Structure 1
Amino acid sequence: MPRIAVTSVHVDDQSRALTFYTEVLGFVLKLDLPAGDFRWLTVVDPGDPHGPQLLLEPDAHPAARAYATALHADGIPAAQFEVEDIHRAHDELTERGARIVQPPTEMGPVWTMIIDDTCGNLIQLATAADL
């Protein structure tokens, strides 16, 4: 059976994305390799360094840029990540200067919040309501 090894978010600036995803969200750099005019740039969960990688992929292709722009304009997150405690995550991310688009909000069995990654995407964080 296949397993998820790499997934991606399209970003408008790889360096700024690396700063956000490591210094604000707390992921760690996995790979940073030259790839033509860009980089093969991935981050991983620090608790699972051999787990799935998030590729910070340039939005240089017109279709990718249009897709990311449309999602952002409509308020649709490009990716979702799990956190143990949404309220603690909110406090920590606020301290780190994250732009909170939607504060923690109860949505049935989960709590969600949305942040702007500064690179063209909205990112949703979620936690089970009973945690």
Structure 2
Amino acid sequence: MKATLISIPVRDQEKAMRFYTEKLGFAKKKDEPLGGGNRWLTLVSKDREDGPEILLEPAPNHFELSKVYQDALMEAGIPWTQFDVEDIDSEYERLTQLGVEFIVKPTISGNVTYAILNDTCGNYIQLVQEL
């Protein structure tokens, strides 16, 4: 068994696609219309195009419980998911210069350094560098 798809709920797929590609550096893999203005919109890491896909899921717009859960995570400051990075300090600096808002600056915790950013689409995302 292996993970092939990670779903991230977003309130605006186009805005999310721009943020995740232009700022975080992912590459668009699939973009298929589903009707009603929704898309099957997936992204992959540029250096692992055959790796797991990130689905930018418009569920909060159509399923109230998804929106409630997403809001509760944001209110509690809990990240929706985590992405690993090689050098968190340089990634933090790069993203900050691009205007990305962090709610937690790089912080050492045990054998990792982590930071938490706002994806502007209803989620906090944690970046982690193993030490």
Normalised by the size of structure 2, how large is the TM-score?
0.95
Offset, 1:7: 1.1
Instruction: Give the structure 1 partner of residue 104 of structure 2.
Output: 102
What amino acid maps onto 1:82 in structure 2?
D
- Distance in 1, matches of 2:23 and 2:74, equals 19
| CA distance in 2 between partners of 1:78 and 1:36 (Å) | 26
Q: How many residues in Structure 1 have an aligned counterpart in Structure 2?
A: 128
Runs of 4+ that moved beyond 6 A: none
Q: How far does residue 52 in structure 1 lie from its aligned partner after superposition?
A: 0.4
Q: What is the match of residue 64 of structure 1?
A: 66
Question: Where does the alignment leave 5 or more consecutive residues of structure 2 unmatched?
Answer: none
Q: Give CA deviations for 1:102-127 in whole Å, capped at 9, x if unaligned.
A: 10000111000000000000000000
- Residue matched to 2:4: 5
Task: Give the corresponding residue for 1:30.
Answer: 29
Matched, 1:126 2:125: no
Percent identity, aligned pairs only? Answer: 43
Amino acid paired to 2:73: L
Deviation at 1:66, TM superposition (A): 0.6
For residue 113 of structure 2, the aligned residue among 111, 114, 122 is 111
Aligned equivalent of 2:54:
54
1:15 aligns with 2:17: no
Tell me the alpha carbon deviations over residues 60-110 of structure 1, each in whole angstroms, 9 at most, x when there is no partner: 211111110100010000010000011011011011111111100001110
Name the amino acid aligned to 1:124: Q
SS at match of 1:84: coil
Q: Considering only aligned residues, what root-mean-square deviation do their CA atoms show, in Å?
A: 0.7
Q: Distance in 1 between matches of 2:102 and 2:128?
A: 14
The one-letter amino acid of 1:31's match is K
Aligned mates of 1:41, 1:127 — CA distance in 2? 27
